[in-house]
Each structure stands twice: as structure tokens, then as C-alpha cells.
Amino acid sequence: MCGIAGIWHLDGTAVTEQKLKTFTDSMANRGPDGGGYTLLENNTLGLGHRRLSILDLSDLGKQPMLSDNGRYTITYNGEVFNFGEIKAELETLGYEFKSNTDTEVILAAWDKWGIQSLDKFNGMWAMAIWDELRKELILCRDRFGIKPLYYLHIPGKIIAFASETRAFKHLEGFQRSLNKTYLDLQVAGIPIDGSGYSIFQNIKQILPGHYAVVSANKPLQQKRWWHISNHLHNNIPKSFREQTECFYELFKDACRLRLISDVPIGTALSGGLDSSSVYSMVHHLLNTESFERSHKNSQQAFVATFPGLAMDERKYAEEAVAFTGGPVTYLEQNENNLPDRVAADTMMFDAISTAPITSIAGIYEGMKKNGISVSLDGHAVDEMMYGYRDMLYRLYHHYFSEGSTKLALSLSDIIVETYAESERERVYSNLNVLREIAKNPIKRLKYKLGSYLKNRPKDNLENHPMLLGLGEDYQLGQLPYPQRLLYFETFVNSLPTILGNFDRAGMMHGVEIRMPFMDWRLVTYLFSLPTEAKIGGGFNKRILREAMKGRMAEGIRKRTFKVGIGSPIEHWANGPLKEWMMDMLSSTNFKEDLMVLPSSELSELKKTNPNETFDLKKSQRIWQEINAQLLK
């Protein structure tokens, strides 16, 4: 895991080593173990790299790296977890290797198979490969966009790319500015990461599953190299038991591959089903199987705790750890010097959200201080198996409006269980309105005609403004609604933003985040399963819960109430951050062109009585305005 950068002056002017170094080293946090810089094409092209040493800690792993035949030069961020088997195949074809890195394997694979080599890779990556023979620069991103790749392209003048938007503040000759349209969309709750754009003017992203070939005389065009619809399974087992067995084996192998490392690995454990499943599987593998290349210190859990707050999940994490008996470190989220930390973290984060990134980043900071450079996390389960409450409500209303009342009523029970016990009676009472309608054919018809539909959650899966990005769309309208909802959250709405946020949070402190549930074999298998394998029997995430029966703490396996990790913005806005936030709001240095709240709302917020208690919504609105102002 690293930071990559590059500058190509398409007009033929020289790129100085200092310009390249300044641009690349602005991301030294991503690669604290050293930097590399290479000038090519008569010094008009520069490739840069910041290294986080994970595989082959020797100098043989330094980048940019040149292929044996001298044709290709690569700068690469990520991991190809199955590089060992690809390396063995290449060796039978006559290739020889000097290092134990996956980077050298990628170069050899590219030399042998070109763009088709990507289909062989199981991992996460953003890479740039210079082809000396064709005089082309290839920019490429993994199937799901786990690793970021931003670029600036001015035809005939420059192409520059980097792992972080923050790097472009340090690109000589470019004045970075916010794109108000995309900033406002983000603030309105419409994520833009899945579209290929960013909140900054002219800074775009290579889309997940896409690549672009750049040359001096041709326009940049992103081309798709992978789409999940081309890889769905046709031979899914018929019985749920067999489906579960297959899922378990895929999940186990995904974890096994991601334990390959020359440095210690930890697990970010929340006490929820997803992270606890990864943690339990890691413990099982390291205690039952032998690995040629895994670090012996890879069973430690790291748990963020928030003493005294409702979001504290320590008791659940303790239950997960008690099942394995593994080592654990509890990271209490302290409030010391909080305003300065939040401000610094926000500027490093270089994006906008409803709460500071500080608590999430604090987990990886704690890992790094304990000698951990790799974390195994449980991301993507929610998006692929109806883990979010909003998804359940959408599906509930869909079934109800379509007349599938039995399915709708079964979902209402699942919805109620996602709330804290103190809220369940209220939620059940609200849902009971629709239960009563479901029992009465006349009332049900009126509902379908629209008398009640006015109050259902807004459903914009077909008309989402971000569906049309820089590449082809996902043609969601052709899918049945339950599947369309999963595609939407996984590829367009929720997950792309989460991947970006956690990449920034981890790499702030030089920690690589690996995600077993995002193994492409597991993802395509899940998307091939019938809906009832993912939600049914009284639970969402059904097949994961079934697969982990007897293999993790039972209370966690059946846990339905979801908290989620994040900063306690409401608590902070009424406590340790209040004075700072109010001072920021009243600051005369506010830039009007960066304002994300309507001026009338901002004026009212500035008049807020310092003794007033802010609710969650108001806390988030104040924070978003401050967040935007810190994006300098």
C-alpha cells in the first residue's frame, strides 16, 4: 500500500525532479518508508512513489519499478493477493524474478498478457504503467475502486495523477479550487465518488473497473475492463445449506489470501457481525492452518471505545474476543486537544462528511503506534446483504406497493430489530399502520394508488444524478428491484464513499486496509444468489450469519442492532468542540464561495445561543459548513 503520483507535460516541456518530488512527497503519510522518482520520455514524464513496505521489505521492492526487458515502468498502490500463483505460472513461461514483491509479478504479467492480465489479479490497486514502445501511459483501477486514483487532464498540456486530491494543492502551475456543484451534491447527501468526479474543479477519478490509455496526441477516454454482470454464476447450489457452505469456503479463502504479509496484521473490531466475522475467521485460520508467508503477530484486535456514550460497543467487542481468546487493544477516543486534532484531520481528509473523520482515523493511528501496518476490516457486507436500515425500508415499501404483503410484513419484523430496544415499540407502532392496511384489500388498493405513497422514502434509483459518470452506467432499470437496490448501494451510492473515507483514514497513519468481503469471487457469488439467501428467516445478512454458526460468538452472530463507527458529532458539538465550532461560525474569515449552507440558515446558526443544546441534525449542519471552510 502506497501513494502514487505522476506528471506528464503533453506539450513537451520538461518536468523537473523537484516538481515531481514536491507533488509526490505531499503524500508521505501514505508511504512513510521512502520515496522514489523517475523521469522518462526526455524528462517530460515523471512517475513518483511513496512506499509503505508490506511485501519484501528490501530495496528490491522500491518503485517506480522497471520491467526486465526495459519496456514498462510502473508506479503502483495496492496488493494483488494471488500474486504467488500468477508468479508460478509466469515462471513456467520462462520469466525470472529478483524480488518477492507483487509489483514485479504485475510487470511480468503485463508484459505477457497486457490488459487481459487484470482479469487474473485478485486484489485492490491503482496503478500507472508507462509503455516505452507505444509511448502510452496506462492508468488503471481495481474492480471496485478500493484504491483511489485521481487525475487532472488538460488536453495538449498536462496529465497529472495522484492517490489523494490533497496532492494537487502541491502541483506547480495548478490552482486547486472547489467545484460548487459537486460540493453541494455531497452536502445534500448525494455521494459523487461512484461517478468518477470529486468536489474539486477538474479533478476526476479513474472509475472502478476502468482503465485509460493516455498519449500525447489522443483524448483521454476511460474504458471498462470489468463489470460484475459478466461474471455472475450460473450454477448456484439450489439448497440454502449448500449455498452457505460455498459462501463459507470463499470467505475463508478470501481471508487466507489477505493474511499474506511480511509485517504484522491487526483487525479493526467493532463488535458488529461483519468485523467480528473477519476477526473470528482470522483467528481460526492462524490456529488451524500453516502459512508460508504470514506474520505470526496477526491476531490482535483493535477496538475504539467511547466511554459513557450510547455508541460505545466495547461490551460487544469483549464478547467477540472472549470467543477466540485472542489479544486485544482498546483505544479510548479521548477528547484532549480535540479542536486542533479535528482541524488537522479534516485538512488531511480533504473531503466533506457529516462528522469529523477523527474517530475513524484514531483507530488506525492506534494500530500504527502498536506496530501494525495492515488492518483486516469487514466493509461491504451492508451494501451486499441489506445491512442498512434505509435499504430495509425501501425494500419494505417496494414489496408492500407491489402487493407482496407477506414479504413486506416479514421485513417489518427485521426492521424493528435493527433499532435499540428502547425504540422498538415506537417503530413497531409506526409500521403497524401499514400492517393494518395490508389486511384490508380496499385500503391496500388506495395505498398502491398513492394516498400513502407520498410519505414513503424517496426512491431515486433510476434518476440518481450520479448514475451517469465518466464511464458507462450500470443500467439499473433492467434489474428486479431487490437486486437493483444492492447494485445501487454497492457501485453507486454508499460503498464508493465508504471506501474513499476509510482509505484516507487508514493512510493518514500509514495503515493498509484489506477487505476480505470485497474479494471479487465472493462479491460475484453474493450477487448471483437469490434474495432470500441474503435476507430471510428473520435476519438480514442471512447467509453470513448461517456460515458463521458455531464459528464466532453467538450473541454477535445474532446481533441485529447496528451502531456503526464514527465520531460522536452531537456529543462533541455540545461539549469539547462547542466553543471552537461557534468561534468558527462567527469568524470573519469565512469564504462566501465555499459556503455550503443557505445564507439564511447560516445567519441563524451564527445567532445561536451558546447555551443551546444542539440536536444531531443541527450539529451535522454546523459541522458541514466548518468542514467546507477547512478545505483550503
Region 77-92: mean pLDDT is 97
Neighbours of 580 (CB within 10 A): 17
Partners of 36 in beta bridges: 49
pLDDT at 293: 77
pLDDT at 464: 59
Region 193-201: mean pLDDT is 92
One DSSP character per residue, 132-182 reads TTTTEEEEEE-TT--S--EEEEETTTEEEEES-GGGGGG-TT----B-HHH
**Strand-pair category, 512-514 with 123-131:** unpaired
**Least reliable range by pLDDT among 174-188, 315-329, 416-430, 602-616:** 602-616
Give the Cα separation of 376 and 28 in Å (integer).
22
**Domain 2-226: CATH architecture, name and number where available:** 4-Layer Sandwich (3.60)
Is the pLDDT at 93 greater than 90, yes or no? yes
| pLDDT, tens digit (0-9, with 9 covering 90-100), for 448-487 | 555 444 444 445 565 555 555 677 655 666 789 999 999 9
**Least reliable range by pLDDT among 374-388, 392-406, 504-518, 599-613:** 599-613
Query: Residue 418 corresponds to which cell in the numbers above?
Result: 435493527
Give the Cα separation of 541 and 586 in Å (integer).
46
Q: Do domains 2-226 and 233-383+487-557 have the same CATH topology?
A: no
**Domain 233-383+487-557: CATH architecture, name and number where available:** 3-Layer(aba) Sandwich (3.40)
What's the mean pLDDT when you consider all of the chain? Answer: 90
pLDDT at 455: 42
Q: What element of type H or E holds 401? A: helix 389-401
Give Cβ neighbours of residue 48 (< 8 Å, ≥ 6 apart). 4, 5, 6, 20, 21, 23, 24, 25, 35, 36, 37, 38, 64, 75
One DSSP character per residue, 537-562 reads TTEESHHHHHHTTTTS-HHHHT----
Is the pLDDT at 515 greater than 50, yes or no? yes
Q: What element of type H or E holds 46? A: strand 45-51
Compute, in degrees rounded to 10, the torsion defined by CA atoms 480, 207, 56, 326. Answer: -40
**Strand-pair category, 512-514 with 374-376:** parallel
Closest CA to 320 of 291, 286, 282: 282
**Strand-pair category, 265-268 with 300-305:** parallel
Classify residue 446 by burial, with Cβ atoms within 10 Å: 0-12, 13-18, 19+: middle
Separation of first and last alpha carbons in the chain = 27
pLDDT at 451: 41
Give the Cα separation of 461 and 476 in Å (integer).
8
Q: Where are the alpha helices (DSSP H) in 178-272?
A: 180-187, 240-257
Give the Cα separation of 303 and 156 in Å (integer).
50
Classify residue 120 by burial, with Cβ atoms within 10 Å: 0-12, 13-18, 19+: middle
pLDDT at 467: 52
Give Cβ neighbours of residue 355 (< 8 Å, ≥ 6 apart). 566, 567, 568, 569, 620, 623
DSSP label at residue 123: E
400 within 8 A of 439, measured Cβ to Cβ: no
| pLDDT, tens digit (0-9, with 9 covering 90-100), for 130-159 | 999 999 999 999 999 999 999 999 999 999
Domain definitions of the chain by residue range: 2-226, 233-383+487-557, 388-486, 569-629
